[in-house]
């Protein structure tokens, strides 16, 4: 496997970032394995789904952030599960947790969102976990695009557990307006569910058109990541991307 570019800042001031998305199943599995995987990916931004939402949820999320070399940016129970962690390389401009319209009988969903700066580059960030129901999922994809458009930034990245394969209507709605990072620059593994027998790609990272995608996929074989940890950490596999963000 070709190495994925590390975080850096180019001579023109444009930063290269590592962005990770990961469904962590409320930390019900091996939290130590999970922290090792996140740390080995050396991300600048971590988009989480299914973070703890009830008893001492902030403490549990803070412990994961500390163990993996990150800090909490936003989200958690206040976004109905999605959260964003970041490295100290990020300068936070603003954050907002968004609760989506509730469909009776279905779980509440939300977005964790932020605007951050890495040097001279300004970036919108959104973590999502879309519905299990197809029609609602398609509507939520539209709300995601609306949210990105309203963040007042030229460049943005969004990711999460879409509960849908690339040929699904919600996934296709996102990919029509944004770059599907895995399809743009394949790297590593493709399928994200389940870790023991991955056959479906239902977790993804998307970027606005001006961002250069240098590589994206499941980080099999990345130094510090073992298949045993990937199977033990949670019921999804992570998706890691390297992205070059323009400064204008």
Q: What is the CATH number of the domain that holds 168?
A: 3.60.10.10
Average pLDDT over residues 203-207: 98
Query: What is the span of the domain harbouring residue 108?
Result: 8-244
Average pLDDT over residues 189-218: 98
Domain count, the chain: 1
Q: What is the CA radius of gyration of the chain?
A: 16
> What is the pLDDT, as a whole number, of residue 11?
84
Is the residue at 2 inside a domain?
no
Question: pLDDT, tens digit, for every residue of 44-96?
Answer: 999 999 999 999 999 999 999 999 999 999 999 999 999 999 999 999 999 99
Question: pLDDT, tens digit, for every residue of 102-156?
Answer: 999 999 999 999 999 999 999 999 999 999 999 999 999 999 999 999 999 999 9
> What is the pLDDT, as a whole number, of residue 182?
98
Give the Cα separation of 234 and 30 in Å (integer).
7
> What is the pLDDT, as a whole number, of residue 12?
86
Question: pLDDT, tens digit, for every residue of 181-199?
Answer: 999 999 999 999 999 999 9
Give me the half-sphere count of Cα atoms (radius 13 Å) on the Cβ side of residue 118: 29
Is the residue at 1 inside a domain?
no
> What is the pLDDT, as a whole number, of residue 107?
93
Q: Which H, E and C letters describe 44-104, residue by residue? A: CEEEEECCCCCCCHHHHHHHHHHHCCCEEEEECHHHCCCEEEECCCCEEEEEEEEECCCCC
> What is the pLDDT, as a whole number, of residue 248?
72
Token pair listed for 248? 């204008």
Provide the mean pLDDT of the chain. 97
Question: pLDDT, tens digit, for every residue of 13-57?
Answer: 899 999 999 999 999 999 999 999 999 999 999 999 999 999 999
Q: Which H, E and C letters describe the chain, residue by residue? A: CCCCCCCEECCCCCEEEEEEEEECHHHCCCHHHHHHHHHHHCCCEEEEECCCCCCCHHHHHHHHHHHCCCEEEEECHHHCCCEEEECCCCEEEEEEEEECCCCCCCCCCEEEEEEEEECCEEEEEEEEECCCCHHHHHHHHHHHHHHHHCCCCCCEEEEEECCCCCCCHHHHHHHHHCEEHHHHCECCECCCECCCCCCECCEEEEECCCCEEEEEEECCCCCCCCHHHHHHHCCCCCEEEEEECCCC
């Amino acid at each position: 496997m070709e190495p994925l570019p590390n975080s850096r800042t180019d001579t023109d001031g444009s930063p290269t970032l590592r962005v990770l998305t990961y469904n962590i199943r409320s930390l019900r599995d091996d939290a130590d394995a999970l922290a090792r995987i996140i740390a080995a990916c050396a991300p600048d931004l971590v988009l989480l789904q299914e973070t703890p939402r009830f008893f001492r949820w902030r403490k549990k999320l803070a412990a994961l952030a500390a163990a993996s070399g990150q800090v909490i940016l936003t989200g958690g129970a206040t976004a109905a599960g999605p959260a964003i962690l970041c490295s100290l390389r990020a300068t936070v401009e603003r954050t907002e947790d968004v609760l989506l319209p509730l469909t009776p009988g279905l779980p509440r969903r939300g977005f964790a969102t932020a605007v951050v700066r890495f040097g001279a580059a300004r970036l919108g960030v959104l973590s999502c976990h879309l519905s299990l129901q197809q029609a609602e999922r398609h509507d939520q994809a539209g709300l995601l695009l609306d949210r990105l458009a309203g963040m007042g930034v030229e460049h943005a990245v969004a990711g999460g557990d879409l509960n849908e394969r690339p040929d699904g209507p919600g996934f296709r709605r996102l990919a029509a307006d944004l770059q599907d990072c895995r399809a743009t620059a394949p790297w590593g593994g493709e399928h994200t569910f389940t870790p023991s027998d991955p056959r479906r790609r239902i977790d993804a990272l998307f970027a606005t058109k001006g961002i250069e995608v240098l590589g994206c996929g499941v980080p099999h074989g990345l130094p510090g990541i073992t298949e045993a940890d990937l199977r033990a950490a949670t019921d999804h596999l992570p998706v890691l991307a390297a992205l070059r963000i323009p400064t204008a």
